[in-house]
Amino acid sequence: MYKGRKVTAVVTAAGSGRRMGTPLPKQFLKIGGKTVLEKAVEPFEASEHVDEIIVVGSSEFLELCTGLCRQFSKFSRAVAGGKERQDSVRNALNLVEDGYVLIHDGARPYVDMETIMRVLEAAAGTGAAVAAIPVKDTVRQTRGGDNTDSITLPRDRLYSVQTPQGFDVALIREAYAAAEGEGFLGTDDGGLAERAGHPVTIVEGSYRNIKITTQEDLPMETRIGTGFDVHRLTEGRKLVLCGIEIPFEKGLLGHSDADVAVHALMDAMLGAAAMGDIGRHFPDTDDAYKGISSMILLQKVRELIEQEGFRLGNADITIMAQRPKLSPYIEKMRTNIAAVLGMDAGSINVKATTTEKLGFVGRQEGIAAEAVCTINRG
């Protein structure tokens, strides 16, 4: 409650994020273990004045929105968005009770409570307020249809508009109805209030409060993973390492092709992404994986980590085998792995070592492999 009236936050997360080039829209990408949407909602949950949080999601991702926001005690529901942002906000406004509404973009994860408070305070005073920051660049405006003639706008009066934008609920509902009646499509809520004849107050936003638009807007996160695997050498099996069939009197025993080097690499990649191990994703009780080439599984692991916004940085694989001699195959192993992962071979290293006839590897009972990799996000 603020000044005795209910405060509702409407967080929009219906965008498709086409500019990101990732499988998931930007609001669902993670920054340090939390999605952009969760980070955008958090300060509203923490604000003592906010009573209810409504999230607008595209119908395709509505369940995901609900799942992510259930942790917030003030979250009441996720509603399906419309074709344009304006349609999405209108759908939410239809459900908002009288009082004040704070409309915030779910792709702005760095909003702080001070900014929210400034917007709410101003909205309670004048009915309409937006967070904004002074423009740093000089801004020119074209005079006509082309770029051959333009004028400088007075920079000291220019602001970049952010969210949250705060309104008296009745005022913004009326502004939305007017815009809809005239078929007008604005770029933000303040624009609609202004069009309906209401003065809009600018309050201090924050330069940190950026909208995540492209991959570059996400902070780069690098993670490390390790993997280790052993398979028994046995007669009557092929020896496959990094996707290459190597002539030898024995092969590795396993449910798949038992490519121990690729298994170690996959576990390293999954480990770095905190996504468990290959046993979890490709259980050896599943007949679908019987005799399968581990290179196909490697492609799947690549897709799994890419769905989380990660891409492989580099990988270093060590194969421990007493015999056969692997050096003739090392270059082909590198290029094989690099091709499946869509990487330059310069980012993939494969090396082989004996164990000086010591242990199970030395006795040629099995082959072991170890892998370390980095993955990056952002």
Closest CA to 188 of 218, 162, 167, 153: 162
Mark the segment that binds Mg ion (CB under 5 A) among 118-126, 155-163, 258-266, 350-358.
258-266
* Residue nearer to Mg ion on the CB measure, 195 or 255: 255
Q: Smallest gap, in angstroms, from Cβ of residue 258 to Mg ion?
A: 6
- By CB under 5 A, which span of 73-81, 94-102, 227-235, 269-277 interacts with Mg ion? 227-235
Beta strands in the chain (DSSP E): 7-13, 30-31, 34-35, 52-57, 75-80, 100-105, 128-134, 140-142, 150-152, 159-168, 201-204, 221-234, 239-241, 244-246, 251-252, 310-320, 348-353, 366-377
Residue closer to Mg ion, measured from CB, 18 or 280: 280
Contact 32, 274 (CB under 8 A): no
- Kindly tell me which residue out of 229, 267, 306, 370 binds Mg ion, with binding defined by CB under 5 A: 229
- Closer CB to Mg ion, residue 173 or residue 238? 238
242 binds Mg ion (CB under 5 A): no
The owner of tokens 């995540």 is 212
Burial class (CB in 10 A: 0-12, 13-18, 19+), 273: buried
Which residue, judged by CB position, is nearest to Mg ion in the bound state?
A: 263
Task: Determine, following the binding rule CB under 5 A, whether residue 263 of this chain makes contact with Mg ion.
Answer: yes
For Mg ion, give the closer residue by CB, 212 or 315: 315
Q: Shortest approach of Mg ion to residue 254 CB, angstroms? A: 6
Site for Mg ion in 302-361 (CB under 5 A): none
The DSSP 8-state label assigned to residue 2 in this structure reads B
Nearer to Mg ion, 77 or 232 (CB): 232
Q: Which C-beta is closer to Mg ion: that of 131 or that of 321?
A: 321
User: In the complex with Mg ion, which residue's Cβ is closer, 175 or 264?
Assistant: 264
Torsion angle (degrees, nearest 10) of CA 282, 286, 291, 297: -20
- Among the candidate windows 94-102, 109-117, 257-265, 281-289, which touches Mg ion by CB under 5 A? 257-265
Amino acid identity of 295? M
Distance between CA 215 and CA 204 in Å, rounded? 26
Residue 97 DSSP one-character state: P
Residue 257 binds to Mg ion (criterion: CB under 5 A): no
Q: Of 25-33, 46-54, 156-164, 229-237, which part binds Mg ion (CB under 5 A)? A: 229-237
CB of 306 to Mg ion, least distance (A): 22
E-assigned strand segments in 1-107: 7-13, 30-31, 34-35, 52-57, 75-80, 100-105
Tell me if 250 contacts Mg ion by CB under 5 A: no
**Do 28 and 36 touch, CB atoms closer than 8 A?**
yes
Q: Is 227 one of the binding residues for Mg ion (CB under 5 A)?
A: no
- 224: which residues sit within 8 A by CB, 6+ positions away? 272, 372, 373, 374
If binding means CB under 5 A, how many residues of this protein chain bind Mg ion? Answer: 2
**Which of residues 279 and 342 has its CB atom nearest to Mg ion in the complex?**
279
Residue 49 token pair: 């004045």
Question: Using CB under 5 A as the criterion, which residues of the chain lie in contact with Mg ion when the complex forms?
Answer: 229, 263
